[in-house]
């Protein structure tokens, strides 16, 4: 057996002796406490005592009544206060941003398309004129004068001459229609053309015009017959212009009309010298028809 093992054995023996001594002491102390517990005393029987007058009393001395110790009143039970129920935090309802209401789209009424219907007119540039013939156009002229008859410079009219302008100074846009008066006689004439468009459409008409006069001026105008009649008897005329060689070329414009149920309209040009003279002439070119709402 090693030294270490011997030392452990000695320690264990000492511990066992200590525990034995402690147990013996505990038993002796317990016996001493038990011997000190008082025993219940037996009271002697009641002895009959004579009363004060020498007679024997039947009363006996009763043993003292044992009064139990007062019962310890327990401390009052602590009544717990009301349980505080924590109110749950309010539910946060997310507030959404207001829905963006777009501004209403501005409704833009489109500008009606106006068709420049130059191609609907035949020979709008007045080319190929010869021998009182205007290709694509018709003409009418007032004629109330007979050679050798009564002559009135204000009321005597004769048929003019319709020809292609031959003086470049009088050209409006290339070839130009020239209407020449008979010397010392006035003329009153209409140059017209009928065109078919859609019924109930707005129709406009205009042309460029110039004039030459020895005396005074020449009246010119443009018009439209919305019923498409033959000639210009029912035409609605625009402003009458008074032109001469001293003025620039002007636009003669007819009022806008609504085509009738047939869709046929007649466009017209008017010319009349203000006074009879040796030389009076009217010039027309660049006729334009417009059709639109």
- Mean pLDDT of the region 256-281: 96
- pLDDT per residue as tens digits for the range 21-66: 788 777 766 555 445 444 444 444 444 444 433 444 444 445 555 5
Q: Which of 165, 170, 157 is nearest to 273 (CA)?
A: 157
Q: What is the DSSP letter of 50?
A: B
Residue 178's H or E segment, with its range, is strand 177-180
> How much is the pLDDT for 47?
41
Q: Given pLDDT bands bounded at 50, 70 and 90, which one contains residue 89? A: low
For the chain, which residues make up each domain, given as ranges?
115-292
Comparison of pLDDT for 71 and 199, the residue scoring more: 199
Q: What is the pLDDT of residue 101?
A: 52
Tens-place pLDDT, residues 171-191 = 999 999 999 999 999 999 999
Neighbouring C-beta atoms of residue 137, cutoff 10 Å: 21
Q: What is the pLDDT of residue 72?
A: 60
pLDDT tens per residue, range 190-225 = 999 999 999 999 999 999 999 999 999 999 999 999
3-32 tens-digit pLDDT: 777 788 888 888 888 888 788 777 766 555
pLDDT of 288 strictly over 70:
yes
> What class has domain 115-292?
mainly beta
Rounded mean pLDDT, 264-269? 98
pLDDT digits (tens, 9 = 90+) for 157-174: 999 999 999 999 999 999
- Name the phi and psi angles at 42, rounded to 5: -95, 115
Please compute the mean of the pLDDT values over residues 255-275 and round it to a whole number. 96
Q: Encoding tokens for residue 199? A: 């019924």
pLDDT at 147 over 70: yes
Q: What is the pLDDT of residue 44?
A: 43
Question: Would you list the DSSP string of 128-159?
Answer: S-BTTB-TT-EEEE-----TTS---TTT-B--
Tell which residue, 133, 124, 154, has the closest CA to residue 288: 124
Q: Is the pLDDT of residue 140 over 80?
A: yes
Instruction: Report the candidate in 196, 188, 197 with the shortest Cα–Cα distance to residue 232.
Output: 188
How far, in Å, CA of 213 to CA of 76, rounded? 140
């Amino acid at each position: 057996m090693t030294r270490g093992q011997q030392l452990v054995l000695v320690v264990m023996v000492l511990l066992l002796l200590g525990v034995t001594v402690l147990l013996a002491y505990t038993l002796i102390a317990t016996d001493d406490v038990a011997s000190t517990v008082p025993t219940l005393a037996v009271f002697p029987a009641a002895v009959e005592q004579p009363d004060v007058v020498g007679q024997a009393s039947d009363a006996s001395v009763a043993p003292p009544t044992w009064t139990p110790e007062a019962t310890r009143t327990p401390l009052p039970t602590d009544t717990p206060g009301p349980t505080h129920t924590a109110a749950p935090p309010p539910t946060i309802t997310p507030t959404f941003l207001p829905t963006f209401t777009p501004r209403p789209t501005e409704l833009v009424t489109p500008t009606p398309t106006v068709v420049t219907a130059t191609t609907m007119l035949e020979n709008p540039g007045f080319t190929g004129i010869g021998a009182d013939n205007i290709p694509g156009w018709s003409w009418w002229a007032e004629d109330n004068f007979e050679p050798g008859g009564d002559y009135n410079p204000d009321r005597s009219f004769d048929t003019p001459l319709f020809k292609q302008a031959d003086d470049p100074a009088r050209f409006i846009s290339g070839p130009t229609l020239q209407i020449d008066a008979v010397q010392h006689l006035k003329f009153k004439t209409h140059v017209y053309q009928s065109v078919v468009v859609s019924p109930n459409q707005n129709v406009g008409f205009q042309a460029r015009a110039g004039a030459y006069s020895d005396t005074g001026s020449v009246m010119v105008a443009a018009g439209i017959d919305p019923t498409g009649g033959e000639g210009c008897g029912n035409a609605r005329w625009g402003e009458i212009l008074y032109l001469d060689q001293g003025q620039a070329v002007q636009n003669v414009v007819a009022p806008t009309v609504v085509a009738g149920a047939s869709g046929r309209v007649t466009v017209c040009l008017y010319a009349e010298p203000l006074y009879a003279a040796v030389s009076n002439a009217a010039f027309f070119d660049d006729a334009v028809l417009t059709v639109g709402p």
